[in-house]
Amino acid sequence: MVSVSQPTLPVINMDDLKPGTESWMLTCDKVTRAIEEYGCFMAVYERVSGELKNEVLDSLRILFELPIETKVKNTSDTPFYGYLGPNHTRPLFESLGIENATSLDHVQHFANLMWPSGNHRFSEKIHSYASLVSELEAMVKQMVFQSYGVEKYIESYNKSSTTYLFRVNKYKPAETGKSNVATTSIHTDKSFFTILSQNHVNGLQIQTKDDKWITVEFLPSSFVVMASDVFMAWSNGRLRSTRHRVIMNGQEDRYSIALFTFKKGITEVPDELVDEEHPLRFKPFNHLKFIDHHSKSAIYVDERAMESFCGV
Ligand SMILES: O=C(O)CCC(=O)C(=O)O
Ligand SMILES: [Fe+2]
């Protein structure tokens, strides 16, 4: 009998890696190949301790329990950055965004909106978590640049050229007697990277190149590191932008935590990534303008949005 195994995401240990060592070089290669093939991988990253993650999850439960009148105070000029409440198309879903979450001041500003007398503990935990995850993002980016031999450009993609949106989602289980489940439809993210984690309730699915679905089962201390449209464009299409969705069919609330990164200024394909086999696909573009354009046009929910924005 032929056994058909389910596809799974590559798992890569991202702890204790130092540039220049053999394990660093090997990991550069694994990370790049995983993103080329799947758009993403599961990173084991213990720098975010189980304790910190649990504290963040506990504070999210309390955050979502606040009255809607309080949560709607979280507004943003950028569509989808602020509070998204349950509505008739997605009655079981809610989401809150914290802009610039790697800055303690910005997290405190958000906390002061939610708790007028402040919530120092909340701010401190979210800020630590976002900062540690931003370091994972920086490391993965450096590895891919190095693997393609274009490390000399990394400075323009470092932390001071990046903005970070921390967004937390709550998916409620289907109500008794009803068959509606909370979902997120198939899409690619409009970020550079998205780094995801969750509580113990699964739901995230990744689409493979041959249209199979991987249901992600998070390991302890793990994060799904996803390349998104802008990193795909930067790589001239060598990297895959992760197509994914959420189908929540657990019996308990699902909380997911995403750190989205955005590149400030111009993004352009390095000359080294253009050759006969890979003719230039994307003109230089401004990521933040792409977000603006995409939220207005909303024609494509997947990586084709990039082609329509700055395709050659
Ligand atoms: O909840 C998740 O695991 C993923 C959410 C997602 O895809 C998104 O916010 O773009
Ligand atoms: Fe997404």
> 90-149 pLDDT, tens per residue?
899 999 999 999 999 999 999 999 999 989 999 999 999 999 999 999 999 999 999 999
> 186-216 pLDDT, tens per residue?
999 999 999 999 999 999 999 999 999 999 9
First CA to last CA across the chain, in angstroms?
Answer: 49
**Nearest CA owner, ligand 1 atom 3:** 204
Cβ count near 242 (within 10 Å): 27
Question: What lines the ligand 1 site, CB under 6 Å?
Answer: 169, 184, 189, 196, 198, 204, 244, 246, 256, 258
Q: How far apart are CA 274 and CA 281, in angstroms?
A: 9
**Nearest CA owner, ligand 1 atom 9:** 258
Look up the ipTM and state it.
0.99
Mean pLDDT across the chain: 94
Which residue would you say has higher pLDDT here, 275 or 175? Answer: 275
Q: How many angstroms is it from 230 CA to the middle of ligand 1?
A: 17
Q: Is pLDDT at 181 greater than 90 in this prediction?
A: no
Query: What does the CA dihedral 108, 110, 115, 120 come to, rounded to 10 degrees?
Result: -20
Least confident of 200-204, 257-261, 278-282, 301-305: 301-305
Tell me the pLDDT band of 222, cut-offs 50, 70 and 90: very high
Among 183, 190, 229, 244, the mutation site with the greatest number of ligand 1 atoms within 8 A of its Cβ is: 244
Tell me the pLDDT band of 1, cut-offs 50, 70 and 90: low
Q: Are 84 and 94 in contact (CB under 8 A)?
A: yes
Q: Helix (H, G, I), strand (E, B), or coil: what is residue 163?
A: strand
Q: How many angstroms is it from 246 CA to the middle of ligand 1?
A: 7
The predicted model scores a pTM of: 0.96
Query: Minimal CA–CA distance to 254: which of 92, 96, 99, 97?
Result: 92
